[in-house]
Structure 1
């Protein structure tokens, strides 16, 4: 029996298979099944046949006819992404909408045309254009580098259309299986069927990558950054532990089935948890949902949540070329707010539900045509979020007017927070604008300076919300898509937890709420430690709420405080997980 554990290197067993892999757990749960490998390349024979057929091209007419072929293929790929976005919601819809825009990007099209006019064949022209943009994205780093996976997926799909092959993608297993991949494009991850793909293991990506986030939304146990996973032979039985990051190759069948059955029983128990969030000694914890639009809000409202901790407003406008009017925005925001309108007090806490609206977090990997500045050298560290208001103050003013109008129309308690706040002056100015509209004001803690100045931030705002995805990336100076740095982009990193603890303590001292709305909130084990630090609310993908709520219901305030101390004292993420598991009894 070979055990693949969370380590920092890969080794080989005597038979040539993997003996140890790097693995970062991102979605908890146990799953057993045969390995299915995702090899998402276009058939080489079809590509070669296409290249041969176009070898004797007319240098005069070819560039324009080839460009027309490219445009038709790119349009078909973009339409496919748009259709997929319409069949899903949340982060998956966000990613596919953004990818549809990238597939039809005029800059990419112009680069292809330039290469064609220079005498290159279409497939070569496309590849060169993709490499040009991939280099620019990688140089930008941060969230822009994450788009390289999308870009290469788009290239494969366009090539498939050109050569007459089906678009590549993840396989659809006929039996419950463990999917192994070097990496998966977000569109492939979003299209997975959790009844047949029972776990996901990738060689690339980190805990805050799009693949990890969508896997959480689907509830599929997931381990990322597992270098060497593709060396496992197809059909090999695998036991994946999404809590510890351990993957067992050819496990003892009886023991593996027992463990999976125990986990399934525990998951069934989770399905009966209906909230509200509370520890077993009565301490209340607000469990909230992350939403993107009215549809996802209505779906979340039917579950055991007490409101919305993160309404990502920019996701409503990724495909808009012009800024919507205040009236249009009011209608859109009302669709979310009305899903969480006040009910009668005593209805399981539902009467205290509220919605936290985040103002536009446009920029970096979420370009909004009417707001984002073009041509930035490093968009992840550039003019994004609240910083957009510096050069275009009317943009934020109109959005706040619309949020206030929607709050008045629906009667829903509405809080508003700004992303990418770095200074107390920024927080003060934003709070003044929000308070002037009769709403509660807060800021996101994503920049380390905001965490270090949390006590001063709370002198001017009503609440703080920690975005652990960006806070981790910025605190650790690690691109979250760099596979070699996946261990640094883990929210269990002690330095990141120290920043969270500083922020939570500031909230305790000020008597004001401090929540977590990053992906860390969806980790049931880490949630206990966060509550022990003084976090008052957790906002996550709705699919994760029951697991987190049930776990919290099984522990006490003292348990959480001891878990927090153990996590903060750990030397690395793996040690932190192990220490908290020991404190909480596994």
Structure 2
């Protein structure tokens, strides 16, 4: 029995036949019979392309309207790529020079993919999204079926080199019971959506090409293993045990606390009113991260204060009397605003994003804080507001003054290593902090979260990252102020115990992960959590940290 190993992303066990993502169109050279469009027909060819891009964007937006959370954000962002002025302009130029629409789309995509790859970081991640848009538009132009993941007739395990986020967002978890990819990292969009869907997921697995479609596999999303042709009886027993554990998790109804009664707030990450209302169906005590980007993305102009008030009230009203933490706009880099000229940046992931936008567009933050304050007042709620991409205490103090002047509680995200190192000084300026482990890990390890070769480095179990988190939690305890975690690390039940052992007071993740986290915490004492944290911090590698914590908590 052969076993492949990768980076674990979403826990659980699945057993079934392999299906593979269909071949992408890639390039239109084998599909388009023409080499040049007559000059008299070029306007019509441009119209064909424009109509195709609009149709693709409309379909993606329609899917977004039926999705929530990260899936909705990704679908809207992908729809925006289909009508991106830079890309569509490059296509139009090629059509004007005589290229057929499909070949023009291929050429323009290659141009932008080269540019994004050279920029690296989060921009390189957009290559997969853009190539997905290219394939969908070319298929529309040529009258071909829309590319994507095949729908299996029975529960199956999906193998792929990588998946476009738009494909991942459309998976049916009843039929695609696990996801295994050769590329990707633990905090990629695909991994985040897989967690939202609640299906086992393992990324950065070498050797997938040798496994034929139809081969039976056993996927362990907790251990990060993929067994090829496992012994059927043992495999079914493993799935049965996983389901038994899932039943224990499903029975957990909160509130969050350890076996000896230490309270830990288990909260939800949401993106809009739809996802907030959906979160009320899970055992969460409130919202630990309301990403407000969805209000701003894919708009030609800034939403008015009145529009923002209405949208924020939807989220606040979903949890009357509950905790709601609102993050101000985290735009820029891979989430550009159409109504802001972001300019050309050599490395957008390290550029003007998040709170840094206020340097050139202070009115965006002013309007947003006004809207949040009004929404909270109208709902009778206590607004907790935090800023992303805060590098140090001076930025924290500036933001806190703006928030408190409106009668709200001020916090900041800790996702830049400098803010973690200066946590005591930052906490002196604000009322709470929340650690965004996705970016904190990426920036600490200087590793692109989309790089399969670097997936181990973007694992939040990296001891360097754990030491930063522990330092922030200790600073919070010294200051008597709460420290939460709202990155994907909060969705890992084992890591959640370690975080609580370090002193983290709240855990916020995709709502679907809440029960697994809460149930695991309820099985261990605070002392065990502290012992597990010490054991993990004593290691020097991510795998060793995970194993050390597991050994302590199993005892």
Counterparts of 2:422 and 2:294 in 1: how far apart (Å)? 29
**CA separation in 2, counterparts of 1:461 and 1:473?**
24
Q: d(CA) in 2 for partners of 1:249 and 1:181?
A: 16
Which sits farther off after the overlay, 273-282 or 302-311? 302-311
Q: CA–CA distance in 1 between the matches of 2:455 and 2:341?
A: 28
* Equivalent residue runs for 1:474-493 within 5 Å: 474-493=443-462
- For residues 75 and 40 of structure 1, the distance between their equivalents in structure 2, rounded to whole angstroms, comes to 23
User: Does 2:266 correspond to 1:287?
Assistant: yes
SS of the residue 1:51 aligns to: coil
Residue among 157, 160, 165 paired with 2:144: 165
TM alignment of 1:322-333, pairs within 5 A: 322-333=301-312
Q: Map Cα deviations across residues 414-462 of structure 1 (whole Å, 9 max, x no partner).
A: 2000000002110011111111111110100011000000011111100
Query: What is the aligned partner in structure 2 of residue 3 from structure 1?
Result: 3
- 1:266 maps to 2:249: no
Partners of 2:37 and 2:99 within 8 A in 1: no
Distance 2:535 2:294 in 1: 37
What is the CA distance between 1:47 and its match in structure 2? Answer: 6.5
For 2:32, which of 8, 26, 51 is the aligned residue? 51
| Deviation digits for residues 117-149 of structure 1 (CA, Å, limit 9, x no counterpart) | 334343332111001111222222222221111
Partner of 1:426: 395
Counterpart in 2 of 1:521?
A: 490
- 1:275 corresponds, among 254, 267, 274, to 254
- d(CA) in 2 for partners of 1:241, 1:430: 44
User: Aligned equivalents of 2:392 and 2:32: distance in 1?
Assistant: 56
Pick one of 205, 209, 234 that aligns with 1:230.
209
Q: How large is the RMSD of aligned CA atoms in angstroms?
A: 1.5
Partner of 1:348: none
Question: What is aligned with 1:35?
Answer: 18
Aligned twin of 2:277: 298
Task: State how 1:327-406 maps to structure 2 within 5 Å.
Answer: 327-342=306-321, 353-371=322-340, 373-406=342-375
Q: Report what 1:316 is aligned to.
A: 295
In structure 1, distance between residues paired with 2:37 and 2:87: 24
Give the SS at the match of 2:383: strand
How many residue pairs get aligned? The number is: 555
Q: Is the 8 A contact 2:152 2:175 kept in 1?
A: yes
Question: In 2, distance between residues paired with 1:211 and 1:43?
Answer: 20
Q: Distance in 2 between matches of 1:43 and 1:570?
A: 44
Tell me which of 444, 458, 466 is aligned to 2:435: 466
Contact kept, 8 Å, 1:47 with 1:163, in 2: the verdict is no
| In structure 2, distance between residues paired with 1:404 and 1:424 | 23
Give the Cα separation in 2 of the matches to 1:126 and 1:499. 45
Deviations 1:507-542 (A, max 9, x none): 111111000000110011110111111111000000
Q: Hey, what does 2:552 align to over in structure 1?
A: 583
1:128 corresponds to: 107
1:150 and 1:472 map into 2 onto residues whose CA distance is 23
Q: Are 2:222 and 1:243 equivalent residues in the alignment?
A: yes
Kindly indicate whether the alpha-carbon contact (under 8 Å) linking 2:102 and 2:142 is maintained by their aligned counterparts in 1. no
Q: Check whether the contact 1:37–1:230 (CA below 8 A) recurs between aligned residues.
A: no
Do 1:362 and 1:371's aligned partners in 2 also have CA atoms closer than 8 Å? no
| CA distance in 1 between partners of 2:23 and 2:489 (Å) | 30
Find the aligned partners of 1:467 and 1:243 in 2 and give their Cα distance: 22
Q: How far off is 1:195 after superposition?
A: 0.8
Q: Which residue is equivalent to 1:454?
A: 423
1:489 Cα deviation (Å)?
Answer: 0.9
Distance in 2 of aligned mates of 1:464 and 1:35:
43
**Cα offset, 1:64, TM superposition:** 2.5
Residue 556 of structure 1 is matched in structure 2 by 525
The secondary structure found in structure 1 opposite 2:434 is: strand
Q: Which position in structure 1 is the counterpart of 2:57?
A: 78
User: For the structure 1 residues 557 and 106, does the alpha-carbon distance in structure 2 shift closer, same or farther, using more than 3 Å as the test?
Assistant: same
The aligned residue for residue 202 of structure 1 is: 181
Matches of 2:496 and 2:364 in 1, distance apart? 35
Deviation at 1:204, TM superposition (A): 0.8
Tell me how far 1:66 sits from its aligned partner: 2.2
Secondary structure (helix, strand or coil) at the match of 1:61 reads: helix
Whether contact under 8 Å (1:362, 1:372) holds in the other structure is no
**1 CA distance for matches of 2:195 and 2:446?**
24
Shift of 1:372: 5.8
Match of 1:18 in 2: none
Check the 8 A contact 1:446/1:467 in 2, yes or no.
yes
- 1:58 deviates by 4.7
Q: Whole-Å Cα distance in 2 between the matches of residues 376 and 440 of structure 1?
A: 33
Shift of 1:62: 4.0
**Post-superposition CA distance 1:232-259 (Å, at most 9, x none):** 1111111111011011111111111111
1:439 and 2:420 are equivalent in the alignment: no
Q: List structure 1 runs of 4+ shifted beyond 6 angstroms.
A: none
Q: Which runs of 5+ in 1 are unaligned?
A: 6-22, 343-352
> What is the CA–CA distance in structure 1 between the aligned matches of 2:240 and 2:393, rounded to whole Å?
51
Could you say which residue in structure 2 is the equivalent of 1:24?
7
Cα distance in structure 1, aligned partners of 2:68 and 2:391: 31
Q: Distance in 2 between matches of 1:220 and 1:377?
A: 37
In structure 2, C-alpha distance between the alignment counterparts of 1:369 and 1:74, rounded to whole Å: 17
